[in-house]
Structure 1
Amino acid sequence: MAKPVRGGTPLLPYAGPVTPAELSRTVVRVVRSAVDEGALSVAGDVVPDAVKVERPRPGGGGDYASGVALKLAAAAGLPPRRVAEVLRRRIADQPGIALVEISGPGFLNITLDRGGKDRVVRRVLEATASYGHGDALLGQSYDFAEAREERARVVTDVVVRLLRSQGALARTVEHGGQVLPLVACPEPRLRELVGVDAARWAMLRPARHDRPRIEVDELLAQRESNALFRVRYAYARSRALTRNALELGFRGEVGPVPDGEILLGLLSDHPGVLESAARHQAPDRLARQLEAVADGLLRFQHGVLPLGDEKPSAAHRNRLALAEAAGTVLAGGLSLLGIDAPEFL
């Protein structure tokens, strides 16, 4: 059970690239500011603690969309588009925001500053394994019961790690504490059969309410159908690209990567995924994110190094930095799951 803790600090404006988690907090801050200034007249308890921002649906514009204006309209006594207009101007003034438009009944479509998107790579490389960690749950305290069943023990361990990554105080206690509801692992000897890392992945990848799929041969397979193998292989490839680039005499350098939009988007989404996984106590969300980043990196990797007699260029240096950032996210995510990230595979 979450309990408030005194001493939390107010959220501060972000600097540099805008991540979905930061964008959500920015929208909340803008809503509160509009209420405090009298631009919106709603009761204080109507102002949300969190706002969902997501990729626009087909036909929508911008990088992210939010329906917060529709949720506030009734309490404000205004049409949703009128509420959206009040918020649009304020959000557009925030750093890292290029454009805010209103669509449909009152959706806010937010376009990020493109330079900020490129700087996501720099931020990942500077933060290393802590990229995506934040203070979204600062002031919250969680006690979990010590688990005896193997899957419950592993899931509780990772949930504690995720909550701590978002600023919460989280621990396991011998007496009392929250018991996470989940489906137990059907194979009590799983660690002995496949090893610690594969066993943890098998128990963490499904949602807590889903039964783990135990196929020993597949969990041990060194092939693309094995999701854990793909994630670890992608990380190992990122390290190999760095080594190969050094042999060719160049290093990664942050800059625009026109053909890296998908991978950049996944890295930008990562802080929001971590926050969501922590809030919902759902390690499977992080596991799925790592799969997506790994698949994106494995598709992207082929253009990182020069081919044949080609000389290393700024484009190669920029692509290498993006690949290294993706590897950093994979290593940090695997660490939160308690799984090793080998440099050679």
Structure 2
Amino acid sequence: MTPAELSRAVLDAVCRAVDAGELDVAPPERVTLTEPGPGGCGDFATNVALRLARPAGRPPLRVADILRARLLDADGVRDVVVTGPGFLNISLRARDDLLTGLVREIRARGTEYGYGDALAGQTVVLRVPYEVRAEVVADAVARIIATQGGRAEIEHGEPVTLRPVPAPEDPASLGPDAARWALLHPAPHDRPRITADHLVQREINPLFRIRYAHARVRALLRNAGDLGFSAEPGELASEAHFDSAAGASHSAPGASAAPPHPLQPPLLDHPRILRAAATQHAPDRLARHLLTVADALLPLLPEVLPVGEEKPGAAHRARLALAEAAGAVLAGGLSLLGIDAPEHL
């Protein structure tokens, strides 16, 4: 079950409760899923019961209990636990199924994975000073706002609504891609560094790691084609390499025993990051998220292609599909920042 499918399942549970007369409330247009917070458990959490409690005239815990009973019947849902004032914590039946569904969803949507309607129909006015960093940030924010169905208008005038700390010097000497990264990666209250470090083609350079990971994915897809196989979502083989890497990531309480692949959390989180970057006018959040995806992707890449006399199998196709999905997230994110995602590097 993908996050989009689970979101629809939660919305369906609300609608069924309304139809059965258990809740007297208008169902929401959308249901937001997040990672479980402190004290939570499972794979996803939602605050839909708290949102519906007041219009329904019911205590949040009672609304949560009603929705929990409905959700337990949904395909792919293993358990639902109510925590805190009324959060629904949802555990899915199998993490491999979750990862496979997620890869399918990303490959179907491509670089538009994570686009939503959080700002549908809204026009956001961005007033910026005449300063290079503010101009670049506003351009990126406008692109990101469009991913959530909104439209941005960039103006120069008072009151200024977008004023990141100015660049200490002209970044043009870095070239367009490195210059944009130097201005967008730091938080708006941090002073950007305009140095040649942004041009270094080594792992100490965050932008290089992101672009290198994307270029490696494109190369792997070409190499796989030469070997006569293509990407196909499926189960990843249980290997020591993945087990040790996965140990660095967290496994939510109540979830299946096998920890998720390190790429699963950041790929699942991508829609939330895009939504937050759009509503908070914070392209730096997207920039840092892309680095998280790239750093989780790089250890996978040496395991994608068969080695020596090894024949391509289902695990190779599944790893290639996972790498392709992560590469699409990197390419889409870089494009929103106005940075090129090269096929060769």
TM-score of the superposition, structure 2-length normalised?
Answer: 0.80
CA distance, structure 2, for counterparts of residue 113 and residue 329 of structure 1: 25
1:162 to 144, 165, 186: 144
1:336 CA displacement: 0.4
1:191 to 159, 172, 175: 172
State the SS of the aligned residue for 1:315: helix
1:68 CA displacement: 5.1
CA distance, structure 2, for counterparts of residue 24 and residue 154 of structure 1: 34
1:153 CA displacement: 0.3
Letter in 1 for 2:135: R
Partner residue in 1 for 2:201? 222
Provide closer, same or farther for how the CA distance between residues 165 and 29 of structure 1 changes in structure 2, counting only shifts above 3 A. farther
Provide closer, same or farther for how the CA distance between residues 50 and 121 of structure 1 changes in structure 2, counting only shifts above 3 A. closer
Map 1:1-345; keep pairs closer than 5 Å. Answer: 17-19=2-4, 39-40=22-23, 53-57=33-37, 60-67=40-47, 69=49, 80-92=60-72, 97-103=77-83, 106-112=86-92, 114=94, 115-145=97-127, 147-173=129-155, 179-187=161-169, 189-192=170-173, 194-212=174-192, 214=193, 216-257=195-236, 259=242, 261-345=261-345
State the SS of the aligned residue for 1:246: helix
Alignment RMSD, CA only? Answer: 3.2
1:61 CA displacement: 2.5
TM-superposition CA deviations, 1:163-200 (whole Å, max 9, x none): 1111112232467786313211122x1122x1111111
Unmatched tracts of structure 1, length 5 or more: 1-15
1:316 CA displacement: 0.3
TM-superposition CA deviations, 1:72-99 (whole Å, max 9, x none): 6678776553332123234445676443
State the SS of the aligned residue for 1:199: helix
CA distance, structure 2, for counterparts of residue 209 and residue 48 of structure 1: 36
State the SS of the aligned residue for 1:143: strand
State the SS of the aligned residue for 1:238: helix
Unmatched tracts of structure 2, length 5 or more: 243-259
CA distance, structure 2, for counterparts of residue 281 and residue 317 of structure 1: 38
State the SS of the aligned residue for 1:133: coil
1:310 CA displacement: 1.2
1:38 CA displacement: 6.0
1:304 CA displacement: 0.8
CA distance, structure 2, for counterparts of residue 278 and residue 173 of structure 1: 17
CA distance, structure 2, for counterparts of residue 234 and residue 143 of structure 1: 35
State the SS of the aligned residue for 2:35: coil
Provide closer, same or farther for how the CA distance between residues 271 and 67 of structure 1 changes in structure 2, counting only shifts above 3 A. closer
CA distance, structure 2, for counterparts of residue 139 and residue 29 of structure 1: 25
Provide closer, same or farther for how the CA distance between residues 34 and 153 of structure 1 changes in structure 2, counting only shifts above 3 A. farther
% identical aligned pairs:
52
Provide closer, same or farther for how the CA distance between residues 84 and 143 of structure 1 changes in structure 2, counting only shifts above 3 A. same
CA contact (8 A) 1:142 1:169 kept: yes
Aligned residues: 322
Letter in 1 for 2:268: S
Which is worse superposed, 177-186 or 315-324?
177-186
